[in-house]
Amino acid sequence: MTTRTAAAHAVRTHSLVRDYGGGAGLHGVDLEVPKNEVYGLIGRNGAGKTTVLSIIAGLRRADAGRVEMGVAPGRTAFCPDTPEFEPWLTAAEVVRQSLGLAASAGRGEGDRGRERESDAVARRLAEVGLTEAAQRRTGGFSRGMKQRLSLAAALVLDPELLILDEPTSALDPTGRADVLALISGLEGTRTVIFSSHVLPDVQRVAGSVGVLDRGRLLFQGTMSGLIDAYARPVWEVRVRGAAGPLAERLRTLPWVVGADAGQDGRLVVEARSAEAGELGLARELGSAGARLVSLNPVDADLETAFLTLTGERIPGGGGADD
């Protein structure tokens, strides 16, 4: 059952169950997706990500539980992990068709009159890097091109809620960067839920995160909350010149747990929390006038937190073997 509310959440699911038999499916999932945020849904193969996303999108039914939508009816768009199109349609025709469907339902960008239909189509194709392929038939498209096209066809609907199932799985590095930038750009005005196995991507763009494991949510909350709870907030910093004075300065700060200088301008800094480190390191490096060469999370990453949470890594044990 799906109900609608005007709420701070774009979506909430209540005790969602889908029983495929043999333990597969969902076993009581309470997802809470804050409005106008980017929510990353992560989990191993078979964890249930596609099932949850499909139920929210209205493409599959739950056996029990309900979905509460905080966005207007018909303002949700879904991109499947392996999108397929009629092979004889060109990319521009696919997006135009999507726009036409939206306009006939009284929504989407074709309805606004601000932009001509062909401009809206061209703009969305350009955003996903398909301008050159606009007049090519989709039958010859690679998986990555189909993923880009699916995103363009969804964006042209101007959805309040965009649901993306592994949107970067088939993309090359440029495509991934483009799609991540697009997702980031929607934060604040639109809600995006996306599933991914590429945890650094999720860490880059998602403010909230849900960790699914065998049909159950192991964690749900902010990205920094997850990292604080399941990973040590440690960064390796490299500056031009000697790192000793900077390490000394950092050690005097209340949010710093430890700062050790090494060779070649390297230092390892542990913060009291992920948030404190993210805020404090940039500020302190700036005010110290340090010339920053690189700044990398060592343990303060989603991957470490995920592996610890799912029991694949012993906390402080130096990594997983999977």
Residue numbers of the site for ligand ATP (CB under 6 A)?
20, 24-25, 43, 45-51
CB of 51: closest distance to ligand ATP in angstroms? 3
Beta strand 234-239 with 292-297: parallel, antiparallel or unpaired? antiparallel
Where would I find the H helices in 193-253? Answer: 199-205, 223-230, 244-251
Judged by CB, which is closer to ligand ATP: 169, or 184?
Answer: 169
For residue 181, the one-letter residue type is A
Nearer to ligand ATP, 204 or 214 (CB): 214
Residue 222 pairs in a beta bridge with 208
Measured from the CB of residue 194, what is the shortest distance to ligand ATP in angstroms?
12
The CA distance from 322 to 11, in Å, is 33
Between helices 143-155 and 91-104, what is the axis angle to 10°? 30
CB of 131 to ligand ATP, least distance (A): 30
Determine phi and psi for 237, rounding to 5 degrees.
-110, 140
Nearer to ligand ATP, 25 or 159 (CB): 25
SS3 call for 149:
helix
**Rounded CA separation 100/72 (Å):** 19
CA distance 83 to 169: 12
Nearer to ligand ATP, 51 or 208 (CB): 51
Residue 23 or 188 having the CB closest to ligand ATP: 23
Distances (CA, A) of 181 to 30, 178, 197: 28, 5, 18
- Minimum CB separation of residue 207 from ligand ATP in Å reads 21
Residue 202 Cβ, how far from ligand ATP at the closest point, in Å? 13
Nearer to ligand ATP, 58 or 245 (CB): 58
C-alpha–C-alpha distance, residues 3 and 12, integer Å: 10
**Residue 27 Cβ vs ligand ATP, minimum distance, rounded to whole Å:** 11
* Closest of 229, 230, 262, 227 to residue 247, by C-alpha: 262
Question: Residue 303 Cβ, how far from ligand ATP at the closest point, in Å?
Answer: 16
Q: Which is nearer to ligand ATP, 51 or 224 (CB)?
A: 51
> Residue 212 or 285: which CB sits closer to ligand ATP?
212
- Least separation in angstroms between residue 30's CB and ligand ATP is 17
Q: Report d(CA 254, CA 313) in Å as an integer.
A: 29
Question: Taking a C-beta distance cutoff of 8 angstroms, is the pair 49, 195 a contact?
Answer: yes
